[in-house]
Structure 1
Amino acid sequence: MDQHLLVFVTTVEMGNFSRAAEELHMTQPAVSQYIQALERTVGARLLERNSKFVRLNKAGELVYHHAKEILGLYTRMKDLVDDLSNTASGELTIGASYTYGEYVLPHIIADLRNQYPRIQPRITIGNTKDIAELVAGRHLDIGIVEGNDKHREKIHAEPFAEDAMFVYVSADHRFARQESVDLAQLQEETWIVREQGSGTREAAERMFAALQFRPAHLLEFGSTQLIKESVEAGLGITLLSHWATRKELTLGSLSIAKVTGTPIIRQFSLVTQANPYQTKAMQVFRELVRVRSSFS
């Protein structure tokens, strides 16, 4: 592994030379020398410096992006070699879209830690678009996303589960007591939806198109939990996954509205980089995901 790249990436992520030196168990002058040597090698200044912090310039952003990829490939190579003779171990970087990441993934990670304590998971939660891009850019080993991925030439997608999505209202909303809800009523409601790029937002837009209406009032929130709290408070109605609403249905704070054309069914997929090599850590994680999806 190129020590210059490791020192550079650590310095950027720690924010200054002194914290990087502490993290790397080096002296501060040694860190500075490594950075200067790397700048001479690439022929450009990479960091804007002052006494308190360092900041990437344009050249630094390019080098940082590729350095992260190179270091990730080195770690992956080492893990693959270790896998030839050892049990599943090492770091596993996992990404998941919000619905799966917040409501299903924690249970899988608990199983993973119990069964394979030598695996060190590192979790990133984001919307579907962001997770797919991080996997495609080799910043994540594996991702779990909803909706359609846009990087098929760079990643492999494997559908593993279907998710049912329903229209949810507060427990005291009139829709909770109706045997059916017509389109005119739906159109006049305030709909609370996720941000663009979210698989949940994509499903809501698909439902609006299928039922041929657009909400008169639309609120966009960046958190499923915030949406649930807002619906409970009577601010509006929403389309959400059954995975995200089990607790609220049990407590009786949310109700499912009987809307023709629902539930909306969407797929969840495991996405990995487009190559045939997988560490044992990735293999056991994939198997745990499949097992969990069989009874979710």
Structure 2
Amino acid sequence: MDQRLEVFLKVIEKKNFSRAAEALHMTQPAVSQYIRSLEESTGVKLMERTNKYVRLNKAGEIVFHHAVEIKELYAKMNHLLEDLTHKASGSIAIGASYTFGEYLLPRIIAEAKEQYPDIKPTVTIGNTTTIAGLVLSHQLDVGIVEGHFKGVQELKTEPFAEDRMVIVAPSDHFLTHRKEPIKMEELIEETWILRELGSGTREATENVFEQFSISPQSIMHFSSTQPIKAMVEAGMGISLLSEWAIQKELRYGDIKVLDVKEMPYTRDFSIVTRSPFQTKALSAFLDLLRSHKELTDFKIL
């Protein structure tokens, strides 16, 4: 990788020329010379700088964005070359949407570390749209998501396991005592507690609303599953959640699944990648992931 880009990234990270020089074991004039050379080669100034701060201008933001991608691609290239002669080892940047990332991924990573102790995974948890974007920009090697994203031809999506989603309510909700199945239209007047836009769980809920032509008027939004479960438990409303996300709450009776005639709703967990080339570490992790297609090993109940 061009050392001028490495110096540029370090200056932005440290927000100061002298601190960047110290981190790179260079003199400050050497750092300044690298930045000057980069600006001369691009033909534009990249940053505003004073004795107190370093601030990117518009051109600098463009170079910074692409320099990060170049650094990721350069590291990936080296890993692939090393893999020609070495066993599965090295870093894997894994992303996962909340349901899979919080409730299933930790046990898969533990298994991967047991089988391949030289693999060094790092994990990013976010909604489906965020994870897809990070894979697209080469900041993640692989994403595991639920839901769909459109118009991203560069990404390869591989459904590998099924997720069942159910409607949950407070344990003392009057509908939990019904002996006959509940119809979806009976839930229109309930307060629905939903995930944010861009979430696979939110997409699934909207699909259910559309499928059964219901439009609840009372809706609350949260950016992760944990507070949704807490709100349901507190009697504030109902929600559509993955069975994986509610295992412990069902076990302790904190919430209950409503016997809705049209449920459960099913969707896929999918593996999302971009590069056609895979390190041995990533290939080994994906093989392990696919081996849990039924996910039956992870049942808590």
TM-score range, shorter chain: over 0.9
**Structure 2 unmatched runs, 5+:** none
Question: Quick one: distance in 2 between partners of 1:175 and 1:42?
Answer: 66
1:251 matched to 2:244: no
Aligned to 2:43: 43
Aligned to 1:129: 129
The residue correspondences of 1:145-156 to structure 2 (distance < 5 A) are 145-156=145-156
Question: Quick one: distance in 1 between partners of 2:134 and 2:227?
Answer: 25
Closer, same or farther: CA 184–149 of 1 in aligned 2, 3 Å: closer
Deviations 1:233-282 (A, max 9, x none): 11111001111111111111111011121111001111111x43111011
Aligned to 2:64: 64
Aligned to 1:263: 264
Question: Quick one: distance in 2 between partners of 1:171 and 1:18?
Answer: 60
The SS at the match of 1:188 is coil
1:117 matched to 2:117: yes
- TM-superposed deviation, 1:155: 1.2
Q: Is the 8 Å Cα contact of residues 166 and 256 (structure 1) preserved in structure 2?
A: yes
- TM-superposed deviation, 1:18: 4.2
The SS at the match of 1:245 is helix
Question: Quick one: distance in 1 between partners of 2:56 and 2:45?
Answer: 9
Aligned to 1:82: 82
- TM-superposed deviation, 1:50: 3.8
- TM-superposed deviation, 1:78: 0.7
- TM-superposed deviation, 1:184: 4.0
Aligned length: 295
Q: Is the 8 Å Cα contact of residues 97 and 125 (structure 1) preserved in structure 2?
A: yes
Name the amino acid aligned to 1:10: K
Instruction: Give the structure-2-normalised TM-score.
Output: 0.92
Deviations 1:130-155 (A, max 9, x none): 11122122221111111123244201
Question: Quick one: distance in 1 between partners of 2:293 and 2:15?
Answer: 40
Large movers: runs of 4+ above 6 Å: none
**Structure 1 unmatched runs, 5+:** none
Q: Is the 8 Å Cα contact of residues 183 and 262 (structure 2) preserved in structure 1?
A: no
What root-mean-square deviation, in Å, do the aligned CA atoms of Structure 1 and Structure 2 show? 1.7
Q: Is the 8 Å Cα contact of residues 92 and 119 (structure 1) preserved in structure 2?
A: yes
Closer, same or farther: CA 103–18 of 1 in aligned 2, 3 Å: farther
Aligned to 2:166: 166
Question: Quick one: distance in 1 between partners of 2:283 and 2:143?
Answer: 13
Closer, same or farther: CA 263–89 of 1 in aligned 2, 3 Å: same
Question: Quick one: distance in 1 between partners of 2:91 and 2:263?
Answer: 40
Q: Is the 8 Å Cα contact of residues 184 and 262 (structure 2) preserved in structure 1?
A: no
Aligned to 1:142: 142
Question: Quick one: distance in 2 between partners of 1:224 and 1:198?
Answer: 10
The SS at the match of 1:169 is strand
Closer, same or farther: CA 27–226 of 1 in aligned 2, 3 Å: farther
- TM-superposed deviation, 1:59: 0.9
Identity of aligned residues (%): 53
Q: Is the 8 Å Cα contact of residues 190 and 215 (structure 1) preserved in structure 2?
A: yes
The SS at the match of 1:122 is strand
Question: Quick one: distance in 1 between partners of 2:244 and 2:213?
Answer: 26
- TM-superposed deviation, 1:52: 4.1
Question: Quick one: distance in 2 between partners of 1:293 and 1:15?
Answer: 46
Q: Is the 8 Å Cα contact of residues 136 and 151 (structure 1) preserved in structure 2?
A: no
